Amino acid sequence: MYDPVADSEAAERKSIAPRLEQIEGARIGLFDNGKPAAEPLLDVVEERLEEAYPSVTVDRYAVDHLNRIKNDAEMDAIEAWADEELDACIGAIGDCGSCTKYLVYGIESAERSETPGVGIVDEGFALDWDTNARDFGRELRYYTMPAISEVIDRDRFREQLTVDVLDEILDELTRPPTPEERAAEDAESESETTVVAGGDR
């Protein structure tokens, strides 16, 4: 029996970037993937950072349209921004199928520069994130919030995104990688490209 599932080149397993030792004094990038809800959500993240961590400096990067992210030049630009300007990166927003996918591309770009990243996604899109991130070979981190899909109101985000929630998001940038998240280093010797046949995952 033939297998209808297309072959693909297995992504090399890669470790997530080393995490920060502390938030104080860090340069934190806020990455906007072009979805309308990203800007108001990141505005509130920035407000909370200013309140709770005055020593942090914030830099912003916004993609014109989320479809632009799957583009080598754009991904290189995000990687360079993270490499040159940041110590860590918070991305928004994963609140639909395509924007979750493209937020994964954005956070992957930051992580390629060894900059720890976290994406903020609606809790209904966690499996979507996991399965997209798996294709990049990296256990990219995300933080879920309930029912934030298609919310564009800053006051609603202010109610939800308290300083405690901010600390949970920041924890993703500081908590040391688990063995699974570092799995790549163990497999480093097997760097040859392998083909994932059919339905194997």
Partner 1 sequence: MSRQEQDIEGVTESFYRKGKTDGLPVVPPSEERVERMLEGTDLPRDEVIGRLGTREGALTVEKLAVNGVMAGCLPIHMPLLVAGARALADPKSNAIQASVSTGSWAYLFVVNGPIRRALDVNSDTAAFGPGFRTNRTVGRALGLAYKNTARIHPGEKEMATIGNPFKFSLFAGENEERSPWEPLHVERGYDRDDSTITFAAPNNFLQYKFEAGPRGDQEMVESLIRNTPPHMVGLKTETANERYEGAQLEVFYALCPYNAQELEAYTKAEIKEYISENARRRADELSGLGGGNAEDDGLQSLWRRQFADPERIKLFVTGGSGRFNAAMGPTLGGPTTKRVELPDNWDALLERYGDGLDREWGQAGGG
Task: Tell me how crowded residue 9 is: count the other CB atoms within 10 A of its CB.
Answer: 9
Stretch that binds partner 1, among 7-15, 25-33, 155-163, 178-186 (CB under 8 A): 7-15
Name residue 17's amino acid.
Answer: A
Stretch that binds partner 1, among 16-24, 50-58, 93-101, 138-146 (CB under 8 A): 93-101
CA-based end-to-end distance of the chain? 19
Most distant CA pair in the chain, distance: 62
Task: Tell the smallest beta-carbon distance from residue 57 to partner 1 (Å).
Answer: 30
By the rule CB under 8 A, 179 interacts with partner 1: no
Half-sphere exposure of 129 (CA within 13 A, CB side): 26
Structure tokens of 165? 């929630």
Task: Tell the smallest beta-carbon distance from residue 198 to partner 1 (Å).
Answer: 8
Task: Tell me how crowded residue 134 is: count the other CB atoms within 10 A of its CB.
Answer: 15
Task: Tell me how crowded residue 126 is: count the other CB atoms within 10 A of its CB.
Answer: 15
Helix, coil or strand: residue 162: coil
Task: Tell the smallest beta-carbon distance from residue 173 to partner 1 (Å).
Answer: 24
What part of residues 116-175 is at the interface with partner 1 (CB under 8 A)?
A: 125, 127-128, 131-132, 135-136, 149
Stretch that binds partner 1, among 12-20, 52-60, 98-106, 180-188 (CB under 8 A): 98-106
Nearer to partner 1, 65 or 175 (CB): 65
String marking each residue 46-65 x if it binds partner 1 according to CB under 8 A: ------------------xx
Residue 27, beta-bridge partner list: 57
**33 CA to centre of own chain:** 10
Which residues lie near partner 1 (CB under 8 A)? 1-9, 36, 64-65, 67-68, 70-71, 96-98, 100-101, 104, 125, 127-128, 131-132, 135-136, 149, 196, 199, 201
